[in-house]
Amino acid sequence: MFRGHDTHIPVVHPLETVVATGFLDRLASQLKIGRDAACRGAVQRTLETVRKNYVSGEYRSTTEAEHAFRKLVEQEEHRETK
């Protein structure tokens, strides 16, 4: 440790991450309802990407993360139906 330097490194605990991204899990569950297996798989893959991006600070709010999630799922659905 160096004197006079702020050496505090914030620690993010796994439980905090789960709680912080719980809204994405709930949204994913809602988006999977009534969809076929391929679409549910697309939702799950997209969830992992958006969760990682949210935890890294890419989105400024939960609303922005939800919007990005819905948009990416929609793009995946259109890609799979072609």
* Overall domain count for the chain: 1
Q: Looking at the domain assignment, is residue 8 inside a domain? A: no
Query: Residue 54: its pLDDT value, please?
Result: 93
Query: Residue 27: its pLDDT value, please?
Result: 96
Q: Looking at the domain assignment, is residue 6 inside a domain? A: no
Q: Looking at the domain assignment, is residue 81 inside a domain? A: yes
Q: Looking at the domain assignment, is residue 75 inside a domain? A: yes
Q: Looking at the domain assignment, is residue 58 inside a domain? A: yes
The most distant pair of C-alpha atoms in the chain lies apart, rounded to whole Å, by: 61
- How do the residues of the chain divide into helix, strand and coil, expressed in percent and rounded to 5? 70, 0, 30
Q: Looking at the domain assignment, is residue 13 inside a domain? A: no
Residue 46: domain span: 36-82
**In the structure encoding, which two tokens stand for residue 19, read together?**
């709680």
Q: Looking at the domain assignment, is residue 74 inside a domain? A: yes
pLDDT in tens, the chain (82 residues): 455 555 544 444 454 555 588 999 999 999 999 999 989 999 999 999 999 999 999 999 999 999 999 999 999 888 876 6
Instruction: Report the candidate in 46, 45, 53 with the shortest Cα–Cα distance to residue 17.
Output: 53
Query: Residue 15: its pLDDT value, please?
Result: 46
